[in-house]
Copies of this chain bind each other. A is one copy, B any other.
Amino acid sequence: MHNGGSSSSLGPGGLDLTQAFFRPIISAAPPSPTKRHTKISVIGAGNVGMAIAQTILTQDLADELVLVDAKADKLLGEMLDLQHAAAFLPRTKIMADVDYAVTAGSDLCIVTAGARQMPGEARLNLLHRNVALYRAIVPPLVKYSPETILLIVSNPVDILTYVAWKLSGFPSNRVIGSGTNLDSSRFRFLIADHLDVSAQDVQAYIVGEHGDSSVALWSSISVGGVPILSFLHKQEIFYEKETLENIHKEVIDGAYQVIRLKGYTSWAIGYSVANLARTLLRDQRRIHPVSVIAKGFYGIEGGDVFLSLPARLGRSGVLGVANVHMNDEETRRLQSSAETILELTGQLEI
């Protein structure tokens, strides 16, 4: 398996120019690795993993990018395809291997690997298969990068983030799931598209399970600082609760719709995860709805459950959860979301 870095000879004929091409200056210290060297490892070189890797590369978020997958040919092909773009990108070391040793010293490990649901397969069975996969993935990642942040993307993301946390033994601030970061983006897109405003001016969270029981926090949506629901009341604009639920449903359906049309989703999750990577590695202290350990919040006490809450993120991972107000209904839905997840986790053997 090829690694990046200077090959010993140029081409199959063996032409070695290194010693002669550049001359060192006098009294120089030998080259030492730069202190600031950001390394990101992406586990899984499928559509999602590669969209994430390529977006990270384009946005210049890392000095070193590592790909790991079980399929060696596919992996090498993807690595070469990225390396061939060298003339168009800032210099980034790109490496790949089936062996996890290549991930050593990663600041961030992004796990996208996961078994796909077979037709007719029970959700619990799929989960068991993914737990088995994670037993092969998480321990080596931890061994080679004991200080890393684990960012889990594979589905079902909330449960697999919990699994990763248990298998890693890491403190909970360093194990995060991509959660509802993307659902919230789809939500913000719908609202922004209607109001003809930039999606970045729409503050809107979807929290809870990344899935059918997610919770849209209508009571805290604001646009340019204007809270939507109280605005509707003040303007005496009538709306039905069902309308809001339909909008939320359109968000949940968004992913299924893309899968039905093109076979899978990739670009949006790529941008979503690159966005999280930037906040984490550049210590941006931004608030993202991501899957974190939710025990103790909003009356969730049943067990160690991971689900998405608006969390402030920085270089050391999760700094805390934003104290967003939830009305009674939202709190109930969140607790119910937690129970759904907890019931499934209880049946796993971790």
Q: How far is the CB of A85 from chain B (nearest CB, A)?
A: 4
Q: Which residues of B contact A266 (CB under 8 A)?
A: 81
Q: Which residues of B contact A193 (CB under 8 A)?
A: 4-7, 86
Within 8 A of B (CB), among A24-40: none
Cβ contact within 8 Å between A81 and B262: yes
> Which one, A269-277, A316-324, A342-350, is touching chain B?
A269-277
Q: Residue among A80, A184, A188, A250 with the most chain B CB within 10 A?
A: A80
Cβ contact within 8 Å between B194 and A18: yes
Q: How far is the CA of A161 from the CA of B130 in the complex (A)?
A: 48
Q: How far is the CA of A237 from the CA of B5 in the complex (A)?
A: 23
Main secondary structure on A side of the interface with B: helix
Cβ contact within 8 Å between A184 and B87: yes
Cβ contact within 8 Å between A85 and B54: no
Cβ contact within 8 Å between A195 and B272: no
A242 with B185, Cβ < 8 A, contacts A84-B258, A271-B89 known:
no
Residues of A within 8 A of B (CB): 4-7, 9-15, 17-18, 20-22, 50-51, 54-55, 58-59, 73-74, 76-78, 80-89, 91, 182, 184-186, 188-200, 202, 223, 226, 231-232, 235, 237, 239-240, 242-244, 246-247, 249-250, 254, 257-263, 265-268, 270-272, 274-275
